[in-house]
Homo-oligomer: A and B are copies of this chain.
Amino acid sequence: MAKLSDLQELIATEVNELKFPLAPADLYEPIKYILALGGKRIRPALVLMACDLFGGDVRKAISPALAIEVFHNFTLMHDDIMDNAPLRRGKVTVHEKWNTNVAILSGDVMLVEGYKLMMNVDDHLLRPIMQIFNETAVGVCEGQQFDMDFEQRNDVHIDEYINMIRLKTAVVLGSALKIGALIGGADNRNALLLQSFGEHLGVAFQLQDDILDVYGDPDKFGKQVGGDILSNKKTFLLIKALELTDSGALNDLEHWLSGTDFPPKEKVDAVTAIYDQLNIRQFAWEAMHTYVKKAFDSLDAVKLPEDNKQALRVFADSLMVREY
C-alpha cells in the first residue's frame, strides 16, 4: 500500500504539471495562481489511496483526483468572494489580486475543467462517477448557502448545523474515497462503505475544529484561540449553548453576541465561561466521538484485508488530534 504522504507528493507534482491555455490570461492565470498556493492535497490523495486499497492502477485515478482538487479550489475561489476574504493560505485572494468579475468567471471555468478531468475514466465508470461528482457539487453549493443563511438566523438547530457541515466539507471527502474505490475495482457496497467512512470522518473533523477553536492548545492549533467566539460564528458550541441556556445565561450570552467592540480577551473568557458552565465541551466531544465511531464502523465493514485498511486508520488518526 502506498503511504498517504507519498500520494500527496505525487498529486502535488501532477497539479504543478496541469496545463491551461495562455489566453484569455485573466481567465486562466487565476486558476494557476490558486492551485499554486499549495494546501495538503488531502482530497485528491484520498482518491488515489482508495484506488490503491482495492488493488487498482493508481495512474488511472490521477485525472479524477486532479478533478477533485480543481473542483475544491473552484469552491475556495467563489467562497472567498462571498466571505469577502482578503487572504487564502497567507496570500492575496483572487478577487483581491484581480477583481470580483475575474474570480467569478475564472471559478466558473474551473468547475468545467473539473468536469473535463473527471471524465478521464473507463467507459463503464463514466456515468456513475459523473453522478457522484454532480451530487458532490450540488451538496457543496447547498452547504455554502446554508452556512450563509445560518449567520442570519438565531434559531439554527444542531441537526441543521451537522447537515450543513456534512454538505459543505464532508461530502467531498466521502466522494473522493468512493470515486477512487470504484476506479480501483471496488463493488458498490464497499465503495459506499468507504464513502460513509470519509463523510463521517469529515463531520467529526469539523466538530473537532469547533472544539479546538475554544479549547485547543494555541501552540498546536495554529489559529487564534477564540476566533469563532470573536466573530460570533455559529459553531456547534454556540448553537448548543443557545439551545441549552436558561433565560439568565441566555441573556448573558446574548449580551456578548450583541456587541462587536468588547475587549477580545474579555469576550473570549466570558463566553468560554458560559460554555464551561453549560458543559458544552462535553456535548461537543460526544457528538464528535459519535461521528468518529460511525466512520470506523463503516471502515470495519469494508471487505478488505486489515493491512489494506491500515493506511486509512493512520489517516484518520492524523486528522483527529485527540488533545481536548
Listed in ascending order, the chain A residues whose CB lies under 8 Å from chain B are: 21, 24, 26-27, 78, 81-82, 100-101, 104-105, 107-109, 111-113, 115-116, 119, 123, 126-127, 130-131, 134, 137-138, 141-142, 144-146, 148-149
Tell me whether B131 and A119 are in contact (CB under 8 A): yes
Tell me whether A134 and B119 are in contact (CB under 8 A): yes
User: A119 to chain B: which residues have CB within 8 Å?
Assistant: 127, 130-131, 134
Give the oligomeric copy count. Answer: 2
A123 to chain B: closest residue by CB = B127
Tell me whether A112 and B141 are in contact (CB under 8 A): yes
Chain A interface SS verdict (over half): helix
Bound CA–CA A109/B78 (angstroms): 12
* Among B78, B105, B137, contact of A82 (Cβ-Cβ < 8 Å): B105
Tell me whether A104 and B101 are in contact (CB under 8 A): no
User: A24 to chain B: which residues have CB within 8 Å?
Assistant: 142, 145-146, 149
* Among B21, B113, B141, contact of A27 (Cβ-Cβ < 8 Å): B141
User: A21 to chain B: which residues have CB within 8 Å?
Assistant: 142
The smallest C-beta distance from A112 to any residue of chain B, in angstroms, reads: 4
Bound CA–CA A116/B134 (angstroms): 7
User: A82 to chain B: which residues have CB within 8 Å?
Assistant: 101, 104-105
User: A137 to chain B: which residues have CB within 8 Å?
Assistant: 108-109, 112
User: A111 to chain B: which residues have CB within 8 Å?
Assistant: 108, 111-112
Bound CA–CA A82/B112 (angstroms): 19
A134 to chain B: closest residue by CB = B116
